[in-house]
A = this chain, B = another copy of it.
Amino acid sequence: MSREALFDWCRTRFGDRFGTGLSVREHHGRDESGHFPPALPDAVISPETAAEIAELLPRCAAAGCPVIPFGAGTSVEGQVLAVAGGISLDLSRMDRILDVAPDDMIAEVQAGVTREALNAHLRDTGLFFPVDPGANATLGGMASTRASGTTTIRYGTMRDAVMSVQAVLPDGSVVNTGTRARKSAAGYDLTHLLVGSEGTLGVITALTLRLQPRPEVSRSYQVSFADIGSAVQTVIEALQCGAQPTRIELMDAAQMQACLAQSDVGLPAVPSLLIEVTGTPGQVTDQIALLSQAANDNGAVAETRCDTPEQAAAIWRMRHGAALASRASQPGCETLSTDLCVPISKLARAIDESRAWIDAAGLQAHICGHVGDGNFHAMFLCDPDLPEQMEKAMEIHARMVALALQLGGTCSGEHGIGLGKKRYLGDEHADTLPAMRAVKAALDPSGIMNPGKIFDI
């Protein structure tokens, strides 16, 4: 089938849900990554059912036409960019919440439902969906990139939250990879092969998600430290003693300064832990005691507790606005965000060495991280009129990745590989790349699914 014949079929089959206009293609040719040039698809289709996608994919395979699943466009490694053209498959019309089963603490949703829409829907059930990457991404997109965020230390990543997916494979088969049972030992775990595969193996069309009970009590506070090492050591000791914070976030002085400029929370611009502890009253009291003990043992300078839910919300709004605050601190800047994740015992070293390289190069970068997971982001802010800044930032990023791998870590904790981390996947997984390629060839023999992402074929 020629590309022209394919597009004729699409026009007939999808009517005005098939678009080739420049503005719709431009909207689908970029994401929230800071420095990739836009790469426009040739067309955009907005399917409404898995069956429609099942009709489409074998035709795209026959025509050799790329298919790029598109959720909310909030990916940050260029995952949705149509670097080889083809069709952007916009799943935002597949936004139905199919079922909520409170007794089983399960929700079934279509892939285009956003996490905020799901949580709004769950408001009266006493349950919520815990994975929180900051952006109001679609749940299909979050599964595709194996997203996580501030609550991972307590509730895990999308790997833990997704019980099953419905997906359309390139041969047009519609598969359900799991059941509604909380665990299963029945055959290969295709659910978790698809979670994190960034649309390169098939299109996730629906998900069965594990929900969590809304906690009875919640307390948030900030702790100031003289340096990063003391903050990290506090977290190590608290976790070893059985502390289970719901969020425990690290921000360096530069990141705090940028955030405070956009917020009125009135905290000092010093290395900080932002902590949220939730649960039953006794549990929360005990957790705070464990964390405070560890903080005192590691020379914490001061502690600011939130006395009201509003104060707590302000702190977490400030944290979630970190990337925007960094950008606002240098209007018009180009950005590059790193996503290293290392064993927590190596986290202080990884951050301190990174900071030293950044400062020695005279660059601006803000550092924040999900310290309990050993995951941190350095957001480089580069002047677009001084292209050597971005070059230097990329060179330092390469050094940071090499260090993380040497320390037993990974080049991507939660953003995925996309385009941005491709050059590093071979360093991290040279041994498993042939097996990844074999799996890709087995499930997508025509290579139509999101080509150019994760690895080259």
Contact = CB atoms under 8 A, between A and B. Distances in A.
* Size class of the contact patch on chain A: 35 or more
Interface string A284-301: 011100100000000000
A245 interface: no
Given A180-B343, A280-B287, A342-B181, A240 B186 contact: no
Contacts of A285: 282
Interface string A339-365: 101111100000000000000000000
A388 to B, nearest CB: 29
A80 interface: no
Interface stretch (A21-29, A89-97, A415-423): A415-423
Interface string A189-227: 110110111000100000000000111100000000000
Contacts of A189: 146, 159, 192-193, 195-196
A344 B163 CA distance: 14
Contacts of A104: 343-345, 374
B186 A428 contact: yes
Contacts of A373: 181-183
A151 interface: no
A411 interface: yes
A189 B454 CA distance: 12
Given A186-B425, A455-B187, A283 B279 contact: yes
A410 interface: yes
**Of listed A173, A174, A424, residue having the most chain B CB within 10 A:** A173
A155 to B, nearest CB: 12
A428 B185 CA distance: 12
Interface of A: 101-106, 126-127, 145-148, 152, 156-157, 159-160, 169, 173-190, 192-193, 195-197, 201, 213-216, 236, 239-242, 279-283, 285-287, 290, 339, 341-345, 372-375, 405, 408-417, 421, 424-425, 428-429, 431-436, 438-443, 454-455
A286 B280 contact: yes
A208 to B, nearest CB: 9
A422 to B, nearest CB: 10
B432 A147 contact: no
Query: Which 9 pairs from chain A and chain B are nearest by CB?
Result: A282-B282, A280-B286, A180-B408, A442-B442, A103-B345, A181-B341, A184-B410, A192-B192, A283-B283
Given A190-B436, A438-B442, A181 B409 contact: yes
10 contacts: A104-B343, A146-B189, A179-B409, A181-B374, A185-B417, A187-B433, A187-B436, A189-B192, A189-B196, A438-B443
A286 B283 CA distance: 7
Contacts of A236: 103
A185 B415 contact: yes
A440 B113 CA distance: 33
Contacts of A405: 179
Given A179-B410, A181-B408, A188-B432, 14 more contacts: A101-B343, A102-B240, A104-B343, A104-B344, A104-B374, A146-B185, A146-B189, A173-B435, A182-B343, A189-B196, A281-B282, A282-B282, A439-B439, A441-B442
